[in-house]
Homo-oligomer: A and B are copies of this chain.
Amino acid sequence: MLSKKTKYGLKALTFLAAQKGRAPVQISEIAKHENISQKFLESILLTLRKTGLLGSKKGKGGGYYLIKEPKDIPMTTVMRVLEGPIAMVPCVSLNFYEKCEDCPDEASCSVHKLMLQVRDSTLEVFRNNTLADLVP
């Protein structure tokens, strides 16, 4: 299940991408337009800024804005920042790999075999989509 953090993050990014210019947009405006708890959104935008996806400007006329062009922001990046691993099990994760405690042998593990396919197909979707593709 997609977390609300990811859901809200995606909506906020799309909203920013849909802006005409790259002028800062206030948190309150995004929250209002997308029906998101403002405080919760604050923490999400903060994460996105720390990761380098967003820039921010303080003071009057401040807010958040995209640093790169939407077409240059692949969904793989966004999803990993917001949701974490794309794989459903750590033992098939590219960026967050962990060995299973129980499983003695990955090569012969049925779960591993299936989830590897799921990871690959999901990854392909995220690689084929940039933020620009999400803007209506």
Contacts and interface: CB of A to CB of B under 8 A. Distances in A.
Nearest to A101: B35
Contacts of A103: 35
Given A34-B102, A88-B1, A102-B34, A114 B75 contact: yes
A128 to B, nearest CB: 8
26 contacts: A1-B88, A2-B88, A2-B89, A2-B111, A7-B89, A10-B110, A10-B111, A10-B114, A11-B109, A11-B110, A11-B111, A14-B110, A34-B102, A35-B102, A36-B102, A75-B114, A108-B136, A110-B136, A113-B136, A114-B125, A117-B125, A117-B129, A121-B121, A121-B122, A121-B124, A122-B122
